[in-house]
A and B are shown apart, each in its own frame.
Chain A
Amino acid sequence: MLKMTGINKVFRTDTVQTHALRDFSLHVEEGEFVTITGPSGCGKTTFLNLAGLLETYTSGQYLLDGEDVSSLSDAQRARLRNQKIGFIFQSFNLMPDLNLFDNVDVPLRYRGVSAKIRKERIEQALAAVGLANRQRHLPSQLSGGQQQRVAIARALVGEPRFLLADEPTGNLDSNTAEGVMELLEQINQQGTTIIMVTHDPSLAARSQRNVHILDGQIKSDDRNSKARAA
C-alpha cells in the first residue's frame, strides 16, 4: 500500500542544509493502523507530508499502491491525494465560512462527482460521525471534538485507501480525544489503513504498530499484538 525506500528529504537555504529524513524506509500494509511517534523536529510531519504527497522528496523511492509517485506532475499528485488519501489535521482545518455539508463536500467537488451522489455520500459521512442533524451548522457552532468529527467525515467521504492523521487529538480534551480515537479505530476495523502521527504514548500503544522516529530516521518499528486488528 505504502512503500518508502531510502527516502531522503533535505531542506536547503543559502547557508543551511537540513536533513529532515535520512535513508527512511517504511512499508505499510493495507488495513494497518500505524502510529508515528517521536520528539518535536524529528521528521514526523515531513514524513506525513511526503506520504500524503504534499511535498516532494529529495531522493529515494516511494510507491503508493504500487505506483512510483516521483515522476508525477503536480496535478497528478493532487488527483492521487484526492482519490486515495484522506487527511485529518490537528487543528481540523475546516473552512470557517462553509457549513458542515459544504466542508465535507470539498474533496468530492474536486473529484467531479455528481451532485446527487455527493449529497448521498456527505449525508452518510456526517451520519457516520454522528452529525447528520448539523449539516447546515458552521464549524464555529461546534465543539472541538465535533469539528474533528467533521474533519474525519471529510476525510472519509471520498472512500480513500488510507487516512493520514496529524495529531488528530492534539487539540482535544482527553474525553473528546478518546471519542475521536474510538472513531478512528472503528474506521480502521472497517478496513481503512490509518497512519497517525502522535505525541501521545498511550495512543501509540493502542495501535497495531508504532514507528518511532528520531533525527529523521526510524529508531524503532514495534508491532503491538494486543491492539485490535482490522
Chain B
Amino acid sequence: MELGPITRALLRNKLGVILIALQIAFTMTVIVNAVYIINDRAANMARPSGLDEANTFHISSIGYGNSFNESVVVDEDLNMIRQLPGVIDATVTNAIPVSGSGSSSGYGLEPGRRDTLVPAAIYRVDEHVLEAMDLDLVAGVPFTAQQIVRRTPTEERQVTETILSQAMAESLYPDDWRQALNQNIYGPDGSALRVVGIVDRLQAPWPTFTYVENSMLTPEITLDNSTTYLVRTEPGYRDELMVEVEERLATAPHQRILRNNQSLEYTRTESYRIDSLMTTILKVVIGTLMFITAMGIVGLAVFSINRRRKQIGTRRALGATRFSILRYFMTENLIISAAGVTLGAIMTVGFNMFLVQTFNMPRIDWFYAPIGMLALLLLGQLAVIGPARSAAAITPALATRSV
C-alpha cells in the first residue's frame, strides 16, 4: 500500500479532492437521513391496524327526509348484510381505522383529573364488533346486545361499558395492563366507563396520531342519519360483496344516499399516500445523488488519470504491475472517500439534530451513519474501478514517449 505517498500527493492537489470529498459528505448526509426517513415511514405504514384488512370493506349510508328512520334502517341493513353468503360479520361504526377521520377523547383513572387523561380514539360500535373487525379479546368479555345504546348526538351519554386496546390499558396501568379490566375509567366530564374487555390491538384512525395504538370501543349507535357499516368477509368474497351490498342497500326503499364504498386496503393506501409519495421522492433523490456522486468520482478519476498518463507509464516501467496501478487509484479513491464519509458522518448527525429540533422527527439510530459510510466507500470503489482499469492498461512504453 502507498497510503503515505498517495495522501501527500493528494494534499498537493487539494481543490478537486476537497470538492469530491464534500460531495461525498453531502451525499452521505442526505442519503442516510433520507433512508432513515424512508424506513421510519415504511415501519409506520407496516403497522397492523388490528383488523383483517384484506377482507374488510366499509360503506356509508346518509339518510334524508322526514320518513327516514335510522334506527330501523340500521337494523334492516345489518340483518341483510350479515345474512349474505360470504359475510363473516358486520358492525356499525363511527370511524374506520387508518382512514384519518374519527373522534377521540381522554380517559383517566381519577374523576375530575383532566391532567392525567390518556388520549384515545373512540369507536362507537355494536356487539358484533369483535367478529366484524377481527379483534382478539385478550381479557374480559364482548359487548352484549343489551348494552348497545342508541342515542342522538344531543342526548346525554348513557354508555357505561368500554373495551380498550391493550396499548390503552397499558397507558392507564403501565405495570400490568390486565389491572384495567373491570375498573372504571373517567372521561373529561367525569363520566365513568367500566372496562369490560381488552383487545390485543386496535389502531386509531389517524396514522400520525402520537397515541395511535390507544383506542376504545363503546357500545352505542349514534342516530345522526349518517351510518357507516364495516363488513368482514370470507377470503375472496370482498370485492363481489362490496358490489352486492351496495346494490342491495341502494334498492332498499329508503331515502338515502350511499357513499365511500371502499375496501380497507384502499383506505389504508389513501391514508398513506403522502408517505408513499415522499418515500418515492426520497428514493429518486437518493438514486440521483448517488449517480451524481459516482459520476463526480469517475470524472475526477478520469481527469486525474489523463493528467498522469506519463506518470502511470513511468510507474509501470519502474515495476508496477497492472494490479499495482489499479490498487493505486482504488486506494486514492478510498482516501478521498474516507475523508468525505468522515465529514459526512458529522454532517449526518448534525442534520439529524436539526430535523429533530425543527420538525420533531425521530432521532437517527446509531448504526445508520456507519452503514452510510460503508455504502459511500463502496460506491466510490465501484465508481473508480472503471477508470482505474483503464489506467492499469496504460503501456509502460509511454514512459519513453514524448507526450
**Minimum distance in angstroms from A76 CB to a CB of chain B:** 9
**Minimum distance in angstroms from B173 CB to a CB of chain A:** 68
Given contacts A49-B400, A54-B397, contact A93 B321 (CB under 8 A): no
Given contacts A93-B314, A97-B13, contact A78 B395 (CB under 8 A): no
Q: When chains A and B are docked, how far (Å) is the Cα of A95 from the Cα of B396?
A: 15
Q: Please, which residues of chain B bring their CB within 8 A of the CB of A48?
A: 400
Q: Of A54, A97, A107, which one neighbours B396 at CB under 8 angstroms?
A: A54
Q: Please, which residues of chain B bring their CB within 8 A of the CB of A95?
A: 9, 311, 314
**Nearest-CB residue, chain A, relative to B4:** A102
B-contact bits for A144-187, CB 8 A (1 contact / 0 none): 00000000001000100000001000000000000000000000
Of A26-34, A79-87, A215-223, the one contacting chain B is A79-87
Q: Please, which residues of chain B bring their CB within 8 A of the CB of A98?
A: 5, 8-9
Q: Is B310 an interface residue (CB 8 A)?
A: yes
Contact check, B310 vs A93: say whether CB atoms are below 8 A apart: yes
Q: When chains A and B are docked, how far (Å) is the Cα of A180 from the Cα of B132?
A: 98
Q: Is A52 an interface residue (CB 8 A)?
A: yes
**Chain B residues within 8 Å of chain A by Cβ, number:** 27
Q: Is A2 an interface residue (CB 8 A)?
A: no
**Minimum distance in angstroms from B285 CB to a CB of chain A:** 36
Q: Of A78, A97, A99, A102, which one neighbours B319 at CB under 8 angstroms?
A: A78
* Count of inter-chain pairs, beta carbons less than 8 A: 84
Q: How large is the interface on A (under 10, 10 to 19, 20 to 34, 35 or more residues)?
A: 20 to 34
Q: When chains A and B are docked, how far (Å) is the Cα of A81 from the Cα of B116?
A: 84
Q: Is B315 an interface residue (CB 8 A)?
A: yes
B-contact bits for A88-99, CB 8 A (1 contact / 0 none): 010101010111
**Nearest-CB residue, chain B, relative to A158:** B319
Contact check, B317 vs A75: say whether CB atoms are below 8 A apart: no
**Nearest-CB residue, chain B, relative to A97:** B9
Q: Of B12, B315, B323, which one neighbours A106 at CB under 8 angstroms?
A: B315
Q: Of A49, A52, A91, A110, which one neighbours B324 at CB under 8 angstroms?
A: A110
**Minimum distance in angstroms from B316 CB to a CB of chain A:** 7
Contact check, A55 vs B319: say whether CB atoms are below 8 A apart: no
Contact check, B13 vs A109: say whether CB atoms are below 8 A apart: no
Q: Is B176 an interface residue (CB 8 A)?
A: no
Q: When chains A and B are docked, how far (Å) is the Cα of A173 from the Cα of B370?
A: 57
Give 7 nearest A-B pairs by CB, closest first.
Answer: A82-B319, A97-B9, A110-B319, A93-B314, A54-B397, A107-B318, A54-B396
- B contact residues vs A (CB 8 Å cutoff): 2, 4-5, 8-9, 12-13, 310-311, 314-324, 395-397, 399-402
- A contact residues vs B (CB 8 Å cutoff): 45, 48-49, 52-55, 74-75, 78-79, 81-83, 87, 89, 91, 93, 95, 97-99, 102, 105-107, 109-111, 138, 154, 158, 166
Additional A-B contacts beyond A78-B319, A82-B319 (6; CB < 8 A): A54-B316, A93-B317, A99-B8, A102-B9, A110-B321, A111-B319
